[in-house]
Amino acid sequence: MKVRCSQLKDITILGIETSCDETSAAVAVNGRAILSNIISSQVDLHGKFGGVVPEIASRKHVELVLPVINQALEEACVEAKDVDAVGVTYGPGLVGALLVGLSAAKGIAYVLNKPLIGVHHIEGHIAANYLENPLLEPPFICLVASGGHSHIVYVKGFKSFEIMGRTKDDAAGEAFDKIARAIGLGYPGGPLIDKTAVNGNSKAIEFPRVYFQGGSLDFSFSGLKTAVLNYLGNMKQKGEKIVIEDLCASFQQAVVDVLVKNTVEAALVREAGKIALAGGVAANSLLRRCMKEAAEKKGIEVYYPKPVLCTDNAAMIASAAFFEYKSGNTADLCLNAIPGLKLGD
Ligand code: KG4
Ligand code: ZN
């Protein structure tokens, strides 16, 4: 008789994330359950500059990384010596910011003689779905839309990825942030536009949607951004009143329409019955609603993490690290930060 051998021991991983402007540490078990997830955001600090200032981000990470790690262990009621491995984001991201988390992770791994695991930030975003939906397994299509990335990824296995579409210019979140800045809403723009759009008419202003020919599932948001900036300039020149709510709703609808159409198309091409959303933009209420509506019409299920797991956090890094650990994919202390790390590298 064949006996199915389940995992003998739970694997507890300390995750560390400092790729941009959140200093985060978390403890997760078997890539599926969160024991703690501490996120210290620097949003207020960068807000007055309208975006992340890399040097300020690195300095703040240096101040915060150890207290945040200690808090994560304390909240999880886990002693550092009892974790099975330390997972850390090593790219892509801001090099100075990445180096802070990486140095802390190496120090802990060395002192405690634990395996060090380098995690790709986008794999982390995808893994947030495993924390939210403990039964979710590949294959599925994942739309990863954040401040730095807009990728349609075919997740063939826990560690096997194929990029089916990507942005040719701005990332979706970057477009939200730039438009919010242009209309004086603040930073980060995504959540502010999401909120403001609730009271607006999404059909008030006709903004362009870019679709590429020949089956390409790539995105382009720079034309949309220019169209919004031109609209603002024209209205100002004519002395006409801009209804911010309508502008936010119309812009948001244009972004969401393209993200939804291409992602559902990718699922149909790969005959995938599941779509997952990941990255900061996955917190967008219209995107969640429209993706569900469009996918369900085609019999495709839609998964997304709660908003706090969509934006940068270390629980997702601890989850992705678990799947690396299971494949025996540990790193040595020479692991370096790679700001432009590609998915699948
Ligand atoms: O994943 P994330 O925290 O950082 C990166 O890896 O880039 O994503 C941050 C991005 C920002 O551009 C932010 O404006 C956007 O996600 N974002 C949103 C929403 N919440 C965050 N965009 C649209 N709607 C939201 N509710
Ligand atoms: Zn991110």
Contact 143, 259 (CB under 8 A): yes
Q: Which stretches of the chain are DSSP H helices?
A: 43-47, 54-76, 95-112, 121-132, 172-182, 189-197, 222-238, 244-269, 285-297, 307-310, 315-326
Residues 281 and 190 reside in one and the same domain: yes
Locus of tokens 């550092």: 80
pLDDT per residue as tens digits for the range 166-189: 999 999 999 999 999 999 999 899
Residues 18 and 118 reside in one and the same domain: yes
Length of the chain: 345
Residues 55 and 150 reside in one and the same domain: no
Q: What is the pLDDT of residue 43?
A: 79
Residues 262 and 314 reside in one and the same domain: no
> Residue 120 gets which letter from DSSP?
E
Token pair for residue 257? 């329409």
Nearest atom in ligand 1 to the alpha carbon of residue 174 is: 12
Residues 155 and 84 reside in one and the same domain: no
Residues 270 and 319 reside in one and the same domain: no
Locus of tokens 């797991």: 309
Cα of 243 from ligand 2 centre, angstroms: 31
Give the closest ligand to the alpha carbon of residue 121: 2
The model's confidence at residue 54, banded by pLDDT at 50, 70 and 90, is confident
Integer Cα distance of 126 and 222 in angstroms: 25
Q: What is the pLDDT of residue 261?
A: 98
Cα of 279 from ligand 1 centre, angstroms: 7
Average pLDDT over residues 294-304: 98
Residues 70 and 167 reside in one and the same domain: no
> The domain spanning residue 268 has which CATH number?
3.30.420.40
| pLDDT surpassing 50 at residue 62 | yes
Cα of 282 from ligand 1 centre, angstroms: 8
Residues 85 and 156 reside in one and the same domain: no
Domain that holds residue 220: 138-305
Q: What is the CA radius of gyration of the chain?
A: 20
Q: Does some domain include residue 241?
A: yes
Average pLDDT over residues 285-298: 98
pLDDT per residue as tens digits for the range 328-338: 999 999 999 99
> Residue 34: phi, psi to the nearest 5?
-95, 125
Element at 162 (helix H, strand E): strand 160-166
Indicate the pairing of strand 150-157 with strand 140-145. antiparallel
For a ligand 1 pocket test, name from 41, 119, 167, 176 the mutation site with the most ligand atoms within 8 angstroms of its C-beta.
176
Q: What is the pLDDT of residue 44?
A: 79
Q: Does some domain include residue 4?
A: no
Question: What's the one-letter identity of residue 65?
Answer: V
pLDDT per residue as tens digits for the range 86-125: 999 999 999 999 999 999 999 999 999 999 999 999 999 9
Whose CA is closest to atom 8 on ligand 1? 280
Cα of 233 from ligand 2 centre, angstroms: 32
What does pLDDT average to over the chain? 95
Nearest atom in ligand 1 to the alpha carbon of residue 310 is: 1
| pLDDT surpassing 90 at residue 6 | no
Q: Does some domain include residue 262?
A: yes
Integer Cα distance of 224 and 219 in angstroms: 11
Write the burial class of residue 270 (CB in 10 Å: 0-12 exposed, 13-18 middle, 19+ buried): middle
**How many percent of the chain have pLDDT more than 90?**
90
Whose CA is closest to atom 3 on ligand 1? 311
The total of structural domains in the chain comes to 2
Integer Cα distance of 170 and 178 in angstroms: 10
Q: Does some domain include residue 154?
A: yes
Task: Please compute, for residue 320, the number of CA atoms within 13 A of its CA located in the half-sphere on the CB side.
Answer: 31
Collapsing DSSP to helix, strand or coil, 200 comes out as: coil
| pLDDT surpassing 70 at residue 3 | no
Write a three-state SS string for 212-227: CCCCCCCECCHHHHHH
Distances, alpha carbon 155 to alpha carbons 10, 265, 277, in Å:
25, 15, 12
Give the closest ligand to the alpha carbon of residue 310: 1
pLDDT per residue as tens digits for the range 194-208: 999 999 999 999 999
Integer Cα distance of 241 and 145 in angstroms: 32
The model's confidence at residue 345, banded by pLDDT at 50, 70 and 90, is low
Residues 227 and 301 reside in one and the same domain: yes
Residues 204 and 217 reside in one and the same domain: yes
Residues 104 and 245 reside in one and the same domain: no
Ligand 1 pocket by Cβ (under 6 Å): 20, 146-148, 173, 176-177, 188-191, 194, 279-281, 283-284, 311-312
> Residue 96: phi, psi to the nearest 5?
-65, -40
Q: What is the pLDDT of residue 7?
A: 57
Residues 263 and 160 reside in one and the same domain: yes
| pLDDT surpassing 80 at residue 51 | no
Q: What is the pLDDT of residue 46?
A: 78
| pLDDT surpassing 60 at residue 4 | no
Cα of 49 from ligand 1 centre, angstroms: 17
Cα of 59 from ligand 1 centre, angstroms: 22
